[in-house]
Amino acid sequence: MMRMLQWLTAVLVLCLSIGLAWAKPAELTVFAAASTTQALSEIAKLYEAKGSKVLLSFASSSTLAKQIENGAPADVFLSADTEWMKVLEEKKLLEPGSWVELLGNSIVFIVPTASSIKAISLSPQLELVELLGKEGLLSVGDPSHVPVGKYAKAALEQLKLWPQVEKKIAPAKDARAALVFVERAESPLGIVYATDAAISAKVRVVGRFPKESHPTIIYPVAAIKGPNSKAAQEFIKFLRTPQAKALWEKHGFEVK
């Protein structure tokens, strides 16, 4: 009798464990470019209403790609450029066929709201050094690896302005950090994504870079190989639904 009770108890515990496992919602870990923070956070909440749990990690695309390469448990990677996605593709870390070009953006010059600078006319004749002042530095994502910094450097080179500022750069760890430097007036001038400038009341846009001055800004997204790759691809599909598109566009992104 005692053995029978023990057996029934064991079966009951097993059934409860299985039931809890089935009841637990799927959990996805999404690594995404810092510039997508507000928009993707809102989209993730919509997706969670479908019964899944979404864990978001935001940083520079370069930082996130290196973390994934080193074994970080990501299921989805949303990058601010294609180069860092290619790094993971070459390492065979992406689920084949899951790479999608999702978003577009643009880059702008910003100043603190109290700045005396009203507008910048972008041309090779622009005296950027004078605008920065003797001690001022240009705030931008680190051009050596942060996508927004790489786009900015390419644009400044195309406009023949890079030699003026290459030794006067305040290299930020990601796009949002570059924005903060200008918000705090620690830098008199910065280059950020238009979407980042739009979220801050502490900066003003004083110049917009022509799209032809730099490589096309593309945000690709892909599923990382692993046990959650199918769920990751479902999440990527959701990022392109009308619901998600409305939120991307609300935050100033161009949806591909």
Domain boundaries, the chain: 25-103+218-255, 107-213
Q: Is residue 5's pLDDT more than 70?
A: no
First to last CA, the chain: 67
* Each residue's pLDDT tens digit, 156-175: 999 999 999 999 999 999 99
Q: List pLDDT tens digits, range 198-221.
A: 999 999 999 999 999 999 999 999
Beta-carbon contacts of residue 96 (< 8 Å; ≥ 6 apart)? none
> Residue 25: its pLDDT value, please?
53
Distance CA 219, CA 81 (A): 5
Residue 70 pLDDT class (50, 70, 90 cuts)? very high
Domain 107-213 is classified in which CATH homologous superfamily?
Periplasmic binding protein-like II (3.40.190.10)
The domain at 25-103+218-255 falls in which architecture? 3-Layer(aba) Sandwich (3.40)
Is 60 exceeded by the pLDDT of residue 110?
yes
Taking Cα atoms as reference points, which of 220, 227, 239, 228 lies closest to residue 84?
220
Same CATH fold assignment for domains 25-103+218-255 and 107-213: yes
pLDDT reading at 11 higher than 70: no
d(CA 254, CA 37): 15
In one letter, which amino acid is 9?
T
Q: Average pLDDT in the 183-197 region?
A: 97
Helices (H) and strands (E) in the chain, counts: 11, 11
Predicted local distance difference test score (pLDDT) of residue 97: 95
pLDDT at position 50 is 85
- Taking residues 34-48, what's their average pLDDT? 97
